[in-house]
Structures are given as structure tokens and as C-alpha cells.
Structure 1
Amino acid sequence: MSPSIKDNFGSEYYNSLPLFGDCLGELLAFFGVKRAYGVGGDFVANLINSLEGHIEVLPSSNEMHAGFSACAQAELNPLGMCLTTYTVGSLPCVTAAALARTEGLPVVFISGAPGEAEVNSHALHHSVHPHTAWHTDLDAALNSFRALGVRAERLQGQRHSGQPNIAAEQCLELLTYAYLNRQPVFIEIPRDLINQPTQSLSLPLSLEQISQNQPLSLSGAELIAQDIESKLKLANKPLVFLGEKLRLNRPLLSKIISLCHQHSLPYATSWFGKGMLDESEPLCLGSYNGAFSELEGKHYIESQADYILELGTAIFPSDTNNAFSSQTHAIDTHSHKTMLRGTARWEKDIEAVIDLLVQKLPLNEGAESTLDPDEKVTPPLESVMLGYHNLAETINQAQRQLAKPYIFVPEVGSSLFASFELETHGSDIGRSYLANPWYAAMGTCLPYARAIADQLAESNSLQPVLVMIGDGGFNFQANELINLQKQGANVTILYMRNNIFHLGKAGDAPIYSCNDQGFNPRLLIQAYGGDGHLCETTEQLTHCLIETAHKGGVHLIEVPTSVEAGHQSETTKKLNTYIGFRNGDPQATERWNELCGHF
């Protein structure tokens, strides 16, 4: 007869063992998780009960939205967390997991699972199991996440009566992997493990120790810094270009910005990095993306910069972020630059070079900016009909009159491409713009706004959130409004209405129709406890934005929007021209060649 844990290791050790559910709650809190988003269910019920007292377990309107909220959470915190039941709950999260994998977001997807005692020849109702099958498949969700390249494991219970299970240690290893590698993980937890004792853990004193203890195995930082130093000294018009990797590494980003300010180095970022910089800073040139950019610093980037220090950009360029592979991205083709993209964990290699540059470059407190002086004068907007063509300008005007600037959350579509012309400022949560740049996944902005509102509430911030969305994207996710209502969030939804999926529209098939003329979103928002508004001119929208931000709560502003080319944003017009060019349209090809004549 095998001994029990108590017989094997003694009563004192046995009595010191924590229950796994409590240990998981403490682990999540150690990694900075304060809330999880999810949908309940039978296999996850024990886990929900055990996490109470450790973190908030918040409802979402469906599992995919829970995953999207966790993605936004991971943009702002060490980890994001999504909690669902077995297969019928976890499989709908695969789209969010693909987003997290693509954008390098440390999201922990946790699913309840059948207890180990339940696994036998019986087919469980939740399993992916046709009635004609000769065997049960309990690994469908694990295999689905693994197919995306996501690390996916099921925790193990006790394997010997004299040894406690290793589930807590497994979980610590998976959470550490997600945190250090900025990648999602999927964890299935058999429901009978929750109230079983598990091996106790010895955690570091702080979360920072985990990342700080990662050694830099690469050498040569001194030589790279020396080369950069010599090139910067010779440059008359230098530029520091900051890639999207730095948005998840605020300490390093702060070091680089400080270095730029000390030495009057102009800096810009990519589309994917928008919102991590305060664009009101004199040295900030905004977010750049080749021919598709509409920003004041574009001339300096494309025509004046004689040396570029490129930091933290993607190893493999993305078409969205590199001017859609149009060969018009001046950073990509610049002949005199240094690329330090960051191949080490947590960009330790970039940090090593920046630390040396801080020491090497002589402090030049009286340095003058290499930018040409350009006093910004903002004339009042003439009151004209609203459209995507003047949307960003109108919002920028309104934002300048607010006590706190917006945090922008644009939805995929024309709203996203108009949003790159918005002015982003400082934020109480470290980011002033959160979007889903993986533009094949529509339906993220309201779940994102949900996570942002929770983050703002945690810091007692009244900073307003502005969601920009078309009617097609809104109908994907309107059911998430119930949670914004329960939060009492300070969110204004700018609802651009044209009743079709317009971006990329290439015909008149019914599939492009996304709305009905009889639908009244202003009545819908009232049903959710919010206020509805209608704005048709720039003046009306300016006044309405100021009023709603001041009043607080949930608001929806309906803006009737023309699909005529003259009412589209410059970025969208260029994108549609480029799509036509790539599809072989003769007129679009002619317009595109004219547009890119100087590249």
C-alpha cells in the first residue's frame, strides 16, 4: 500500500501545503493580474470560486470579447487574463489568441477542464466528439491553440499518493514564459485539481526580479554604441525611429525619450507604436508610414534626415506597418542608418547600447533642435458637413479644449485609418491610443474600451475614452455595451454611419450591406443607460465631444457619413488607390504612380 503525503513527509509538511486554487490566485496576483475577463461554466465554476479574494473575475458578453479585453489588458499590464469553460468556452477564444500571438501580447487563457477522475470511455458533452466516433478526443482545444503556435498545456494532478501534485509549479513556469517572452499561453485546469493540495512555491521578492535576472548573452554593445556615437556627431539632421516593440517596455522607452530630449534628437514611431508617445512634445514627429502618412514631420523624415537610429522595430516587417509593402517607407530604404531591432528578451541588447550612449554622448544642455521652427497656429474650424475627411481635425480641435486628453480606441475599417491623424498626448495609464493593428479581426474596440475603463478606474482617473467605429464594426460587438454600462465608464462612441462595409468594397454584393435604415443606435444606447446624439457638422461634433467628456458616462454620437471619395480620409483614399493598383486597375495604377512619383 502506497504511503500518503502525510505519512511520507510528515504532518507538518502536509499541513503547510496550499490548495491549488488558492496558490493560483496568489500566483496571478504576483504577476500583477488584478482582474480576469471571462464567461462562467460548469468546468470552471470551482476555479471562479477559488479566485475570489485574490483577483476580480469579471463577466464579458461572450468568450471572444473576453479574450479581446484580455489582449487590451496585456497592452497595459504584465499579463492579461481570460477565463472560460472547457472547449465550448475556450475554442471561441482562438481568434483573440491569434491576435495576442501576432502582436506579442502576454495573455493567459485559462480554461476549466474535466476532472482527471472523469476521463474515461464516456464522451463528455463538452468534448468535440461526433456520435459516430470510436474514441473520445479530449485535446481539441489544446491542439487548436497549439496550431497557432501558442504554448498550451493541461495541468497534472497527483501521480503518486506520497507526492503532492506539481500543478502550481507547472502554472508558475507557464506564467513566467508568457511574461518573459510576451506571448500567450493556454492552460487547461482539471476541475478536481482546484481543491487538492499542491507543492508550495518559493517566489521571488518582486516580479521585476524575474526580468532583471535575465542575463544578456550577447556581446559587442560597446562597439555598436561607439559606431552610433560617431554617426550622431556627424549628422546634421538625425532621427530616432522607435518601433512597436517598445510600447510594452516602458522603462526602456523612457530612457530613449530622455536621451532624445537631452540631445535634441527628433523622434518618430510606427503606426503600431502610435499612442506610446506624447505627440505634443516639440521633438516628436508623430507616427510614420510612408506614402500613407499625413503628419507634419513627414518632410523631415523623408527629405531631411541624414542619419536614422532605428530601435525596436519588427524583425520581419509587417505590410500594414511598412506602407503595405508599397516601397514608399523612407525609413526602410534610407541609405544611412543603424538598425537595432532587439533580438534579446525584453530588448536587453537595445538597453545595453542606450545605457552606453547615455554615458558616451556629451551632455549638451544648450543644444538647439535640428527641426525647422514651425509655430503651430490652429485656426477655428469652419462648420461644414462631417465625414472621414475632416474627422481627425475636428476631434483634435475638441481635444484641445478638454481638461484631460482622450484615450483613442479606433475599430478596424475606415475609422482606424482616419485615426492615424489624431494627436495623441500623455495618458494616466501610459498609452493614449489602443487599436488592433491585426486588421483582419474586426470587433475589438468595445472589449478594449472595457479593459481601458477598468484600468482607469483602478487609478481613479477621469480621463475620457473615445471609441471610433463604423456601423459594421459596431454591430459585431454591441452586446459588450452592457458591461460598459455596469462599469459606469466614461466612454464616448463615435458611430460613423454609412450602412455598408466600405473599406475594401469592390462591388455591390449583399455581403457589403451591414445595416438597415430603420436601425436607431441612439435608442439602443439609451436602453443601455447611455445618451444618444446626432452630429452632422464639424461644429456640432466639436461641441458634443466637449459636452460628453465633461458629463461623463456612456455616450453614442451618430454621424451620417458619405461614401463619396471626397469625404474619405486621405489615408483611406491612398489605401483604396493602392489596393486598386495591386489588383491591376488601370486608373488606380495611374493615380498610384503619380502619388509615389517622388519615391
Structure 2
Amino acid sequence: MTKASDLFVAALEAHGTEYVFGIPGEENLDLLESLRDADIKLVLTRHEQAAGFMAATYGRLTGKAGVCLATLGPGATNLVTAAAYAQLGAMPMFMITGQKPIRTSKQGHFQIVDVVDMMRPLTKYTRQIVSADSIPARVREALRRAEEERPGATHLELPQDIAGDDTDAILIPASYARRPIAEDKAIRQAADAIAQARHPLLMIGAGANRKTTSRMLRQFVDKLGIPFFSTQMGKGVIDETDPLWLGNATLSDGDFVHRAIDAADCIINIGHDVIEKPPFFMRKGRRTVIHINYASAVVDPVYFPQVEVVGDIANSVWQLGEALSPQPHWDFAFFDRVRNALVEHLGDRADDDRFPLVGQRLVADVSRAMGPEDIVCLDNGLYKLWFARNFRCRNPNTLLLDNALATMGAGLPSAIAARIVHPDRRVLAVAGDGGFMMNSQEIETAVRLGLDLTVLVLRDDAYGMIKWKQAHEDYPNFGMDLGNPDFVKYAESYGARGHRPDSAAAFLPLLQRALDTPGVDLIEVPIDYDDDDRILNEDIPRLSAAVE
């Protein structure tokens, strides 16, 4: 006979689980004791939400479900935002929550909420374990569902009395599975549409951000020479220093990339996820859009592709590459002008000496400091637009941003998980002062774990993006301004090092020293968003018109 909690942990070990992120409670004590002797490391965090963000980021970087743990009631409700973050962002994550004994009750409904029903709209799979005998099947299914395409969040509730039961159930080994591939007719139809086009254009979305798909896309682009752009969560799938790169669909309209989109008569849409903001607006009859994804298109007023290739994306891209050859009537001259204008514009203000820093100087200096394999983890704020647009990624998952739930508070926990997964790479967290303070307590977690981590806190003493939007729409300034601690002293109180540059010129050397010094460093950087309205709404349309 085996104790149920031991069997639960054995099921995780059999799946290859390395870490459990979270905060246990008294209802998890059996599971905690089972973890104590396991090969799985418990990463104790300071908030359940942060644990969920770490688990989701682990899943995003590895493709294997990140696991997080919370107790019942408030511990479980604190996972809700992280569940939505993983589910909308297609990050494999498995949540475990405790519960009061379900066969007897000595405390009435104290701390009890229906966690399974609460998680239902936020997960792919959620169940309460009512029998120790069902643990192997439930854990196996939760992990399988989290990882299969489209990835997302799953949840199991393990009640206190069930965790302490004995069982003679045995583990269920993982089955061998291959994703279906697209049929030949669909490949031929897509290949014909691309071959007949005069100005084909490749779009790379979040679903293409997989290792094998990245390799196939690299081969596809090298063979055919078709220019490409990406959504925010598709950044880095193909090296963005490539001469065929046309930018990132960061802004809603009017940027350089939208001039290329408007000129395209066929858009090959690889892995677009409608959770992201529309990378372009479709208009009937203007162009052919080819949808290549694991599942058929979710049609809405701005996305209604005429050709669909449904199946494993990497295989579909490979088949298309085999079916196509460069066509003499393809014309990419206008796309070349777009790229040249874009690259010139991205260098604008990269050496601006104003202080507080402007967004372009910030991104340029971070780009100078980070290597091609290093990882930048963004929280959410106005600066995210500048990083998505101006930071040119050389490799997949080297700029981790959230363009799905777009929640604040995830930047620092995401960076902690990235450093755990990739201890050989330098990792930088970038957060506004508003987002940073939502999970700033995890600085202690990073220090306690002995991580080498650098954190940029961009200080404007406001909820900057909403304040910018408020002003942009001619509302008076109201309800956006904040007070802040001394972030240097705040970092030092946790045992980290705190820094504050006094000029634009001082920022890059300080950042480079922090990245190259072991331990946790926090840099408070004053940021100026006042120029953004003019840059985004005057400069870009004016300069993008120059490509005509």
C-alpha cells in the first residue's frame, strides 16, 4: 500500500517534474512531507500569484507543465490571475490546491469556496480528487492536457483526508502520441495561393514559438526569400536581424509594418492566436489570408482566413517549403523599402541624452548590454510597446512579454523562473513601478535562492500607460499618480544591491556591471513617457509615409 500523497508526488516525478512553486497550507501537509523526500525541489514563494507566474513561465520555456501549489480558500483564489495568464498565454501549467476533508467536517464552511468551479472557465481541466485510487489517472490527464496543443492551465484539488489515505493504485505511464498533420489537399491549396501571389508576406504568431517550428521556418525563409513580421509573442522565432524582417505588429495601425501588410496580396499566417491583439485588420476581398495552425481558425470580424491548413505547424511549414520554389513574379521591392525605413527609424533617439530616460534610449541600452541568448522578462506598461517594437530578438523566448492577459505583476516572478530554467544565461526583469510593487516581495525569493538576477524598475510615480491613454483621449489627469518607496533602500532591505543612475550616460555601464556581478541587483531608472504621444501618433505615420 502507498500513501496517496506519496503516489501523487511519484506521478509528478514520473513525468519529469523538477520544481513545485508555491506556498503550502495545513491542508497540504501530507503532500509537503511527500515532497520532502522527493527529487522535486520546492520553491517557496511569498505570494501564490507569483508562484503561478513562475510555473507558467517554466512551462513557456520548457514545454513541460510548470507545477504550482497552494492551500484552499485564499491560497487557491490567489492563483486565479496566474491561471488566466497561463491559459490565455498558452503556457503549460498544473495547479495543485488543498481542501478541507470531504468525508467529515469540523469547521463548517470556514475558508471553503468551490475552487473546482472557480477554475473551470480559466483552465483546460479541473477536478477534485475524491479517491486515492484515481490519483494516477487524474495527475496523468492534468499534465497531458496542460502540455498538448494548445497548451494552458490545469488544476487538481487534493483534499486533506484523501491525501492521507492508503492505496494500491499504480502509476499510469505516459502514452506515445504524435500530432495529426495537415492533408495534402490543404497543403496544395495553400502552396498554389502563395505561388500565384505577387507580394506574399509571412506572419509569425505565438503558436509558432516552438523549437521545431522555428527551425522549419528558418529553412522556409532561407529557401523562398519571403519577408516576414511577427506578433509580440512571436518575436525571435526567426532572427530579427535578418534582412527579410519587417518588424513587429506592436501598434494597432499606422506603423511601418502596416504599410507592408497593406501592400501584401497574400499573408501566410503561421500560428496566429486570436488571444493576441489583431496583428492586422482584414478587409473583404483585399488579400488572401492563409491560416496555418494546430486548430482551425476562430473567425471574427477582423479574422476570416480564406485558406486553412490545420495540423502540426512545423510539419505544415516543412510541407509548404517542399511544395514551393521562388517565383519570378514575386515582387518584394516595396517590402525592402519598408525595412530600410524601419531600421533607420529604430535608431532614432537611441542615443538621446535626456534624463529621465526616454523609451528608445532605454531599449537601445538594454539591447547593447544583453547577449543574443540572454533573456529579458517584461512586466506590463507603456515601455512594453518600445521593447516589442525596438528590441530585436536573435532567438526564440529571449524577450518574454505577455500580450494575452497582459497582467501587471508578472515580470519579476517570470524572471526568477527564467533564471532557474537557464542558469547559464543572464536574465533581466523590466517592470514599471506600478507592476513591480504588485509582486516586489519576490526579491526576497530571488535572494534566498541565490540567483544572479538584475531588475530594472522604471519609475514615473504613476500608472504610466493608463495616464498616457487618459491624456491621449483628452481626459484630465485623475487617479493615476503614485507614491513610491526608495527602491534602492527597498532592495537593500531584502539583501539585494540597489542602484540609481544620475544621467542617461551612467545607465548602460551600471546595467552592464549589474548583469556581470553575481547576486540580485535592482536599478531604479527614472523614465519619461511625455514624448510617446508625439512619437507614436506623429513621427511614425509621417516617417512610414516616406516608404511610398
Aligned partner of 1:322 among 254, 257, 278 = 278
The answer to whether residue 524 in structure 2 is matched with residue 558 in structure 1 is yes
Any idea what SS the aligned residue of 1:188 has? strand
Corresponding position of 1:313:
272
Contact kept? 1:302, 1:330, Cα under 8 Å: no
Corresponding position of 1:6:
none
* 1:447 Cα offset (Å): 1.0
Contact kept? 1:39, 1:61, Cα under 8 Å: yes
The answer to whether residue 322 in structure 2 is matched with residue 359 in structure 1 is yes
Any idea what SS the aligned residue of 1:69 has? helix
RMSD after superposition: 3.8
Aligned partner of 2:291 among 339, 342, 345 = 339
Distance 2:284 2:455 in 1: 36
Distance 1:369 1:435 in 2: 30
* 1:271 Cα offset (Å): 1.7
Corresponding position of 1:54:
39
1:272/1:547 Cα in 2 relative to 1: closer, same or farther (>3 Å)? Answer: same
Corresponding position of 1:400:
368
1:441/1:380 Cα in 2 relative to 1: closer, same or farther (>3 Å)? Answer: closer
The answer to whether residue 218 in structure 2 is matched with residue 257 in structure 1 is yes
Distance 1:168 1:555 in 2: 43
1:82/1:400 Cα in 2 relative to 1: closer, same or farther (>3 Å)? Answer: same
For residues 90-147 of structure 1, the C-alpha deviation after alignment (integer angstroms, 9 at most, x for no partner) is 1211121122222233211101223344x2475164325xxxxxxxxxxx21221125
Contact kept? 1:536, 1:560, Cα under 8 Å: no
Q: How does 1:177-216 map to 2 (within 5 A)?
A: 177-181=145-149, 182-195=151-164, 196-204=166-174, 210-212=176-178, 214-215=179-180
1:183/1:347 Cα in 2 relative to 1: closer, same or farther (>3 Å)? Answer: farther
Aligned partner of 1:454 among 406, 414, 420 = 420
Aligned partner of 2:26 among 42, 51, 59 = 42
Any idea what SS the aligned residue of 1:229 has? helix
The answer to whether residue 205 in structure 2 is matched with residue 243 in structure 1 is yes
Aligned partner of 1:545 among 499, 507, 511 = 511
The answer to whether residue 436 in structure 2 is matched with residue 474 in structure 1 is yes
Contact kept? 2:19, 2:43, Cα under 8 Å: yes
* 1:446 Cα offset (Å): 0.9
1:386/1:31 Cα in 2 relative to 1: closer, same or farther (>3 Å)? Answer: farther
Contact kept? 2:457, 2:522, Cα under 8 Å: yes
Corresponding position of 2:134:
166
Contact kept? 1:63, 1:89, Cα under 8 Å: yes
* 1:312 Cα offset (Å): 1.4
Aligned partner of 1:81 among 50, 67, 79 = 67
1:143/1:592 Cα in 2 relative to 1: closer, same or farther (>3 Å)? Answer: farther
Any idea what SS the aligned residue of 1:478 has? coil
Corresponding position of 2:91:
105
Corresponding position of 2:13:
29
Identity %: 19
Contact kept? 2:93, 2:152, Cα under 8 Å: yes
Aligned partner of 2:80 among 77, 94, 102 = 94
- Segments of structure 2 that go 5 or more residues without pairing to the other structure are 298-308
For residues 349-406 of structure 1, the C-alpha deviation after alignment (integer angstroms, 9 at most, x for no partner) is 5445334224323599xx9987638787869954511456x43444334533555554
Aligned partner of 1:285 among 246, 263, 266 = 246
Contact kept? 1:166, 1:198, Cα under 8 Å: no
Contact kept? 1:264, 1:369, Cα under 8 Å: no
Corresponding position of 1:483:
445
Corresponding position of 1:268:
229
1:453/1:569 Cα in 2 relative to 1: closer, same or farther (>3 Å)? Answer: farther
Any idea what SS the aligned residue of 1:111 has? strand
Distance 2:402 2:529 in 1: 23
* 1:449 Cα offset (Å): 1.0
Contact kept? 1:38, 1:59, Cα under 8 Å: yes
For residues 508-559 of structure 1, the C-alpha deviation after alignment (integer angstroms, 9 at most, x for no partner) is 676423214xx31011112223222223543222222222222243222222
Contact kept? 2:412, 2:430, Cα under 8 Å: no
* 1:87 Cα offset (Å): 1.8
Contact kept? 1:25, 1:54, Cα under 8 Å: no
Any idea what SS the aligned residue of 2:73 has? coil
* 1:43 Cα offset (Å): 0.6
Please tell me the residue identity of whatever aligns with 2:152.
Q
Distance 1:347 1:386 in 2: 50
Please tell me the residue identity of whatever aligns with 1:372.
D
Corresponding position of 1:9:
none
Please tell me the residue identity of whatever aligns with 1:279.
E
Please tell me the residue identity of whatever aligns with 2:240.
E
1:399/1:104 Cα in 2 relative to 1: closer, same or farther (>3 Å)? Answer: closer
* 1:331 Cα offset (Å): 9.5
1:569/1:115 Cα in 2 relative to 1: closer, same or farther (>3 Å)? Answer: farther
User: Which shifted more, 24-33 or 467-476?
Assistant: 24-33
Corresponding position of 2:129:
155
- Segments of structure 1 that go 5 or more residues without pairing to the other structure are 1-16, 129-139, 159-164, 578-590
Distance 1:74 1:347 in 2: 24
User: Which shifted more, 230-239 or 89-98?
Assistant: 230-239
The answer to whether residue 130 in structure 2 is matched with residue 145 in structure 1 is no
Please tell me the residue identity of whatever aligns with 2:25.
G
* 1:593 Cα offset (Å): 13
Please tell me the residue identity of whatever aligns with 2:248.
S
* 1:453 Cα offset (Å): 1.1
Please tell me the residue identity of whatever aligns with 1:230.
D
Distance 1:167 1:18 in 2: 12
Corresponding position of 2:492:
526
Any idea what SS the aligned residue of 1:485 has? helix
The answer to whether residue 49 in structure 2 is matched with residue 64 in structure 1 is yes
Contact kept? 1:277, 1:424, Cα under 8 Å: no
Distance 1:397 1:441 in 2: 25
